[in-house]
Structure 1
């Protein structure tokens, strides 16, 4: 009697059941003509139900026949039941019938039965069980055929098991089976899903070697593998091969080739593919046109993106514009700092009922941030709830960065403090935007509190954030805190940069702590660093010496700059010349220094040639 399996111990325990059932001496002989007719009717009914995916009804017929016991069920009946389960994705029931019900009846599975059970596993993505079916076939002496291997390859293809697919393809050839278009197609598709473009092209090459003519599905699969891996050269070359070999590329072919170019930022190649498609009578559909817009966006060609968007609006093209394409065009404008066009496209999307989403608003807010339009960015943020949209962290980060760029530190810090109340966790971008606002407003107290809050919230600190904090202290002339932050950076895993030291040196410059400035300069000049001192570094150190009226170190630093082939700027020379000892003529002939200052000043003031 048919029962429902509760686990997959079915496969493991089936051998013993089959052995016991096959020794049953009471099994009746061949069926009569009346029984054969009844079996044919039962099989036909179960087949019809299986095709309609009515597996429960098919199994009900099987169970009724089992309970009557006046009809000897054969392999064909059980194979039909297994096939019905496979169509209904009931792989467990299919295996129960194979390994329990058939074993109880003393029936030996054949190729068809095993293939049906394997297909049931394949349809539900159980590729490991499909492989187990192959092992059981060999154990029972059943020879796998091409259908077996095609099913195995299809199971591996669904699970993106490209290496297994290649293994079974080679195994089929080793058994002198002639792989067909389906066999090779499943192997190519497995490679495509596994992002193995070179393996997919290799299988396609094998088809010619074995005399199998690839169809458009095979070539499209290999081209799609190239597209997913961004191998636009191979994709375009494959497209050219199709055209030269009289294959007829379809819309799927051109879409894959165009998408490969799009992912590789090859907008001109993408346009060339679209032209080739039009020459073959295949007009760009929504997918191809969207890929064109996206390729322009990735290549920073905002005007071209708007041009393709305008083509989609042509009533004669009858293309339905979607939000994804509109967002790609907005993103192109955002990346190219075209904030006014981004706002225009947002208004346009709302006017044609495209229902802009959070992604749309984020791109427009970012465009406003790049265009230093903080008021517009803030208006977008506050207007989102009216559109039933909930701003996310990306939205807040864009608006905070816009406020920081507009030197509205109070707006940026207010938005930063509101994040926790909105269940949003600040990230390194949020912290960087808030810290930049503190730096722009010389709000070193706020910068310190912000750093303390970040440590308390265990936020990841970046070198950029710490540099902004040091710069805020420098603008506020708080050199002690700037130096403390620099030392904290050195004690952490953050990568030090010249910006960090220059900001700290600039904070120390007017404090008169010339010894400390020289210590920091020596740290910069250490061979362990991957950066070199520049004019700003020496200028700040010379300025510190000037504040401390230390003319000897100042002149020494000036000499170091010359030896390092750094041309002293007017600030460094002016700071040295303003030292009273220099003005009195000690250590250096004042006219020489003044002449150098004058030459540098004339160079800086002279118009560019």
Structure 2
């Protein structure tokens, strides 16, 4: 390779370094400029007038004229097959007298080879091609200008007219023209050049004729124009010329099949490569992986990579340029992982229950030694948003923790949220404990999320009266540095009240005050209920007095508990005064209040008071409900009034109520003769 610096004589501005690759071509040496993109744009008129320039006869100003800017790329793929005596790039001889950056194909990596040989031919072709003739003269060809003159050529005769005054050029020039015309969507002109080369070889006996790389360029032009009906025409023409496709030809075919959505056909090309004794290049494997990606087949991608890895480790591929193949191996490994990650994300988004497929794929990836990194797992965790994703999210989280303690706090918060959504609150607490013990340190959102989970659990404990669970949750919150609020304390108090755990309720109330949390009317109501159930009536009245001192206004529930306390204490006469006080503060007694009064009278053996309060509901314009009748029927039956109990039972049925089987059994047993 020869490297130099081009200077624009008009501005003395340093422009992009020009690299030249030297190859033996016929009797000439061809230099292909790879740095044309750095030159300033100027008029193309000069180029169209002088498509070929003799370096000796040209003045320095002509040689230093700015070259039109075009996107340049390697032209090694257009080398003459017959002169080299090889059909495959890997068999090309090394160039002699080349500096550190050798241009022989063996020095190129797999990806660079396919770039050089048209697998990635999205560029227009080289603007300028310079070559030495007989080691003395330098000729510079403006390929772009010549290609423009062929834009409307449809047949070989049209090309013949354009080239009648032009000397025979090396094959790299024609190869570049064909690709450039393909990029310009002028496929007929590209075919016309190939037909002209065939005519020129046949009629004039020229040594320049279409070779493998000319046809590779033509196939790339077909791909660029997306005129896929021409693919078979190119392949058949190659066969008629006795030209055997190389790996680049097959790579281009695979990419064409991908463009058409024929993914299985693209995969079948790999079998054709093996059956023809060719060695797949890294681009071949990457194209196969891309096919599996398009198909959404992560298992196929993993199997393909495992096969490639086994061949690579056995030395069947990558014998030469081991360093380059090592780099390509790493790239293919990362690409395979990315395909698997993409497929798993699609499963998480689209499938109702993706867990089985994801776990199966993770096992296959582990067997293939494919290890996603922390960022990969975190992206997958963000895709976990449904309750059914709980097991998958837990697996991803565990894998991140196993590889290192470095994990995003936002991801941890997302996992805590997801665990709560899936009702896996203890698992969410485990993640929160990891934040406290391992890191990263939890933020306000972390505390809010875990607090909300505790609230849900405490609410469940309150509804079911699971006081032990509630106490345990409160203790757990305090152990983890969470401060329970009045809502949490009240939940535990209500659970203790429902379970008639009077002493525990008193302790919880005392802890609540010690922690600096101000009791609410719900707190006092739960404590009153627990004391009433424990028959600690004097203590309950003391709590009632304390409520007034701290200016906590009682609600309907608190008044209902108070009337039960007075009846239990043996002061039923105070019930009327409590009801009057309720009305004076704007709280009307409800059917629940009268149910509590009737129930308290039944527990304390006040048979006459039961019927009086039942009839007194009319004065407050209240109608009894099922609970009222059940309490009344059971109380009358147990206190020696079976006929009245049966009458009330039938009355409830007539009013459309469905009393519990317990009430029916109680009435039936009371009616039986002793």
Q: TM-score, normalised by structure 2?
A: 0.37
Ranked by relative contact order (alpha carbons within 8 Å, sequence separation 6 or more), the top structure is: 2
Comparing both structures, which one devotes a greater share of its residues to helix?
Answer: 1
Comparing both structures, which one devotes a greater share of its residues to strand?
Answer: 2
